[in-house]
Amino acid sequence: MEDSSLLNKLNRVTAPLDFESKVMAQLAARRKALPQMRRALRFRYSLAGAAAFLLICFVVVNMFVLQKGPFSEFAGRDTQGTLNPKEFVPITEAVKYSPEIRQASYEPKTAYILEQVSDASNVLIRY
């Protein structure tokens, strides 16, 4: 290619006269700073390690040491016979169905089936 040979015509530069001395001076300075840099790096790594260790400890303690017993649910408590029916005050709530009934003109006919969803004995639930 014609232009690639032209690239050879571009000015070539050389290093400044004090280049080597500057490099050697920087080398000495960096060598001197190297132990300090390594110490700082080690400190940073140990800090990160300590943080990671604390996090792992926190997770382990939460998972195994502070583990709580099995939760007994309301329905379960009933089956275990721990419930005292006297603790509950029966409430009879009047249910108003009129706002629930929507216009049949724009909605398909819907059958609402009301069923008991709680496993608790129906003795405790009063409609």
Partner 1 sequence: MNMDEQALVLQIQAGDEDAFAKLVYIYKDKIVNYLYQVTGDYQKAVDLSQETFLRVYFKANKYRPIAPFSSWLYAIASNLAKTELKKRWRMSLVSLEDVPPAVEISTPSEEASDSGLIKNLRQALDTLSPRYRIPVVLKDMEGYSQEEIAEIIKRPIGTVKARISRGRNILKKQLDKARTGNVSFQKKEIFDGRF
Binding site for partner 1 (CB under 8 A): 1-16, 19-20, 22-24, 26-27, 30
Question: Which of 112, 93, 92 minimizes the C-alpha distance to 101?
Answer: 112
Residue number, 3 or 107, with CB nearest to partner 1:
3
Residue number, 21 or 79, with CB nearest to partner 1:
21
CB of 31 to partner 1, least distance (A): 9
CB of 36 to partner 1, least distance (A): 15
Alpha-carbon distance 74 to 124, whole Å? Answer: 12
**Cβ burial 91-122 (10 Å sphere, 16+ → b, else e):** eeeeeeeeeeeeeeeeeeeeeeeeeeeeebee
Alpha-carbon distance 56 to 52, whole Å? Answer: 6
Residue number, 20 or 119, with CB nearest to partner 1:
20
In contact, 120 and 75? CB cutoff 8 Å = yes
What are the structure tokens assigned to 6, written together?
């032209």
CB of 35 to partner 1, least distance (A): 13
Residue number, 2 or 107, with CB nearest to partner 1:
2
Alpha-carbon distance 87 to 9, whole Å? Answer: 100
CB of 73 to partner 1, least distance (A): 58
